Structures are given as C-alpha cells and as structure tokens.
Amino acid sequence: MPFNRINGFYIGAFQMPEKPKMTIDERNEELNEALTTRLEQLKAAIEDQETQFKEMRLACDAKHAYRSEEMEDDQRNCIGEINWYVGMIKLKGGWRLCYAKDYEHYSWPAESIDWKPLVDCSVEERIDAVPHIGALREAIVKSKESLVPELEKAIEAVAKLTK
C-alpha cells in the first residue's frame, strides 16, 4: 500500500463512502417527511399545553407580552409600540392557547388585539412564541388574583340592591 508523502495517508487503505447524490426531488421528499413529522409533534405539544392551561380553570383571558418594540416616525420620535403575546383567550366559546402581534399607536384609539390559536399560526410565529408559553402559567394565576377583588365588589353592589 503506497504512502502518499504529500497528504500523509495510505492510498487505498480506507475510503470514505460517498453519499449518493440526491436529486432535488428526493431531497424535497425527504424534507417533506421530516417537516410533516416535526410539525405534527409541535402541534401535539401545543395542544397538550392548551389542555394543561384549561385544567387551571381560567376565569378570564390571560396574556403575556414576551416582546415589545418601539415604533418611530421619520424624526425618530416614539409614536407607539409593537407587542407580541401568548395568551389563553376565550375564542368562539372555548379556551384556546393563542398568539397575537399588536400595534399600539399612541395617537390613535386603542383597538382590540387580534388573537389567533397558536396551532393555526405560521411556523415562524409558533417557533417565536413557544419558548414563552411557560410564562403564561403565571399570567393565568395573576389574572385570577386580580379578578377576585372585582367579583367581591360586584357581589357587594348586587347585595346592596336587594336590601
């Protein structure tokens, strides 16, 4: 077995098997299978979290802003902000784990946030939001804590009316 003095190895002693070159269609098919499997896994994990949050017995919407950026005008004055949220929101009669990107302009009246179920979001939105789902558990508890005093006031107001 001849020794190659330039490259420092024996020729023919060991060969790295070359991977057969895949056509673009073969690569695409392989990636489609991988993406389908992983998207199904992500959907199942999100649905599992949604179920766990429902078991916390929500009483009102709970949200967590996980990112915020200022909006500037041409003179670089702050005119508003963009907020990204995850939340457990009551949509169409059921509690859903949701995502929203909200534009808040300081000079315009506030608009309601446009929520959509996280499982229905784009892949990029899901990837962006998923790491922040854990903080939503605290937001759910805080929303219930703030609701209790409001309920007590409402009960007291109704009780005064019935006397």
Q: Which range marks the domain in which residue 105 is found? A: 23-158
pLDDT along the chain (163 residues), means of 10: 51 57 88 92 96 95 93 79 94 95 78 92 96 95 94 92 79
- Regarding beta strands 9-10 and 3-4, do their DSSP bridges make them parallel or antiparallel, or are they unpaired? antiparallel
Q: What is the number of domains present in the chain?
A: 1
Residue 55 lies in a domain: yes
Closest-CA residue to 67 (of 79, 89, 46, 82): 82
Closest-CA residue to 135 (of 143, 125, 145): 143
Residue 120 lies in a domain: yes
Residue 140 lies in a domain: yes
CB 88 within 8 A of CB 95: yes
Residue 5 lies in a domain: no
CB 21 within 8 A of CB 104: no
| E-assigned strand segments in the chain | 3-4, 9-10, 62-72, 78-91, 94-105, 116-117
User: Which residues lie closer than 8 Å to 153 by C-beta, 6 or more apart?
Assistant: none
Tell me the backbone φ, ψ of residue 6, rounded to 5 degrees: -75, -50
Query: Which tokens in the block code for residue 124?
Result: 């990029």
CB 63 within 8 A of CB 52: no
Residue 16 lies in a domain: no
Residue 4 lies in a domain: no
Residue 3 lies in a domain: no
Q: Distance (Å, rounded) from C-alpha 137 to C-alpha 53?
A: 7
Kindly calculate the radius of gyration of the chain based on its CA atoms and give it in whole angstroms.
27
Residue 15 lies in a domain: no
pLDDT score, position 22 = 82
